[in-house]
Amino acid sequence: MNGDPGGQPLVPVLAIVGTGLIGGSFAAALRRVGQAGRVLGVGRNPASLQRARSLGLIDDVASLAQAAAEADLIFLATPVGAMAPILRDLASLLRPDTLVTDAGSTKADVARLAQEILGERHAQFIPGHPIAGSEMAGPEAADPMLYHGRKVVLTPFDDTPGVLQHRLIRVWEACGARVSLMTPEAHDRALAAVSHVPHFLAAAYMTQVIRADDADTRLNLAGTGFRDFTRIAAGSAEVWRDIFLSNRAAVLRELDDFDQALQLLRAALEGDTDPAALETLLEQAALARRFWGGRSQMP
């Protein structure tokens, strides 16, 4: 994808707030296709920022004030719980032509914070969520192909200028991502079901296993099924704490629905008069998973 007609990259000056897996991969993806000029790194961990610099993810370490003064695009790749203080600091610093977006896994709370804190400048902020990640963390985990072929959801405000929305879509497409537009509420309901609750259940299951008296025996015998089912439980506790708390209502609703499904399967397991009932439920789940798996592999 080409930048501006004059040869400028899409993002002449990019500021990454949080230079770990998500932020570092965003910078690396844009650099890979020549669409990021100078990259500034902002964060609370000096050692992590220096690693990001030594890895070539950023050019310079900067303060948030410097980022606001110089950046054309500010990418907030921080835990959701850290968003409010960052927005408060940005509120009085933003240039009128600076675009701000984030990578948080929940959107309704982020959109509300942006409106409350940024006031009339909230339209410069476009909430976003790249649906990509890894249990790995830190600048060393950054991958320029992390977003290639992956979905990115943007939840612009009703008064977001079309030119800013189009600009951010072009940036994400340059990373190889496929962009969808949704309302924050629709995003949070859907992600509670397909992302947040699966992580919650994986964490709950790991908790059950490690608290058993024979935990070592169980883990020594665990194979690929256990590994695949529990992989996401290895993610950052800080990040997932904030996700669960910020999307609490939707997660709790999904847990209620999951409990109903679990009770349905349990009743079929407990019943000894109709073994076909359990097989039918398992077959329905298997067919749905195979259908989704095949569809998700389509370009």
Domain boundaries, the chain: 11-182, 187-296
Give the domain 187-296 fold.
6-phosphogluconate dehydrogenase C-terminal fold (1.10.3660)
Q: What is the pLDDT of residue 1?
A: 41
Which residues have CB under 8 Å from 42's CB, separation 6+?
Answer: 15, 16, 17, 18, 19, 49, 61, 62, 63, 64, 67
| 14-70 pLDDT, tens digit each | 999 998 899 999 999 999 999 999 999 998 888 899 999 999 999 999 999 999 999
Residue 87's pLDDT band (boundaries 50, 70, 90)? very high
Which fold, 11-182? Rossmann fold (3.40.50)
State the Cα–Cα distance between residues 285 and 121, nearest whole angstrom: 47
Assigned token pair, 102? 């984030």
* pLDDT 10s digits, 128-171: 999 987 666 788 888 999 999 999 999 999 999 999 999 999 99
**Token pair 């349990």: residue:** 266
Q: What is the pTM of this model?
A: 0.82
Assigned token pair, 270: 């407990």
